[in-house]
Structure 1
Amino acid sequence: MTKYAHYDATDGRILGFYDTSLHKVIPEPKIEIGDADWPGRFDKRVDVSGATPALYAYVPPPPSLDEQMASAVAEARQIAVDVRQQIAGAATVHRALAWAVKMPYAMVWAAHEAGGDPAGPFAQFAAVAEAGFQIEADVTGETAVAIRDRAIAKNRMFFQATQLVEGMERLAEDRIPAAADAAELSDIITQLRDLQAGAMSTLETLMEGGT
C-alpha cells in the first residue's frame, strides 16, 4: 500500500490524505508520503516551485498588525463578556435590585448620622431607612447599622466592578486600534489582563456574604 497527500498546485496546501489500501481514487496532484506524515500532517506543505514537488515543514507567517489588533479587540470584548457574566452570577437579579433599592436609603441614613443633627434635612428619610433596615435585622439577629453598612459596601463593589468592565472595553476600543506596533499592542493586552484580574478579585469579594 502507498500513501499520498493531495495538494493545491498553486500554493502547495495539503488538501487531503489517501491510502491505496483504502481509496480507489486519489485526486491529482498528489505526492507520495511516508508513514511519519500519515495521517493528517497539515503542518506541512508541498514545495511546488521546482520540477519535483517535495514536502516541507510549513511555518505560517506571523499575523499582520491589523490582524493582531482585530484579535486583541475580540479578546478584550470576550474578557468583558466573561466578567459581565461573572457579575451577573455574583448576584441574582432580585438581589442586585435589593442592593439598588437599599442604597439610597442606606446613604441617606448614613449621611444624616454623619451630620450629627437629629433634626437635619434628612431626618424623616433617615427614620424610614432605619426602620426598614431594622425589619431585616430583627430576622437575621444583626444590627440595622451593620446591615446598612454592608448594603453600602456591596452596592459600591457592584458599581465598581461594572465600571471596571466599561473602562476595559473603552480602553480596548480606543487604544488597541491606535497601537503603533506589536510591542505597544502587547503592553495594552497585558494591562487589560491585569484589569481583568482586578475585576475578578472584586467579584470574589462581592460574592462573599449576603445582602
Structure 2
Amino acid sequence: MPTEYYELSDPGVKAANTFSTVVTCILFAFSAKLATTTKTAFDTCSVLMVLPILLSDCSYWLTIAKVIPVPMNEPPRTMSLVLTCGLACALCCHRFRVFARAGLADWYTPRRSRLLVAFILVHTFISMCIMSISYWLQREHYPTGFPSSPFRKATQLAQFGVNMPIHLAFTFMTFRIVWDIREAVIRRKSVQNTVAGKGSGGKATRSQRFHQTRR
C-alpha cells in the first residue's frame, strides 16, 4: 500500500485507479437500476457489495486532491477489500439457493444456507472490528502513517482463507449444474429431431425439397 503522496500520484497508479473507478461506477449504476426494477433481495445486496469499492476509490481521489491526508487513505482501502470479499462470498452462497429450490442441489437446504451466510457475515463483521481496533490503537502514528500490524495481516489472511475457498467451491458447483443443464437441453433437442425425422418417414422436408428444386 503506497504511503507517500508521490507514490499515489504516479501515472501508473492513477491510470489503474481511474480504470477501477470507471468500472465501479458502471457496476454501481447497473446494479442500482436492476435493484429498483426487480426489487429483489439479491439485487439489493449486489448494490451494497459495490459500495465498499466505491468508498475505496473515493478515498484515493480525495487523497490525491489533498482533501484528506495520505495516512487516512490506508484504512478504507484495506478494509474495503475485506468487506467486499465477505459480501461477495455471502452473495454467492445465497444465489446458489436457486438451484436448491429447483431440486438440483437438495443437500443445500434453507437452514444450511442461512447458517452458512450467517457464518460468513459474522466472520466478516469480526474481521472488520479487529482491523478497526488495530488502526485505533495506532492512532498516535497517524501523522506519519500506520505501521504494519500482525493483527491486520492475520485478519486478512483468515478472511481470504475462509471466503475464497467457499466462493470458488460454489462457483464451481454452479458451473457444473449449468453445464449439466446445457447438456440435457442439447440431448433433448437431439432426441426430438431424431423422433421428428422418423415420423416423417424419410420424406424430404420442405426446405430440402426447395433446395432440390433449385438444383
Same fold (TM over 0.5): no
Larger radius of gyration: 1
Scaled by the length of structure 2, the TM-score of the pair is: 0.35
Q: Could you say which structure has the higher helix fraction?
A: 2
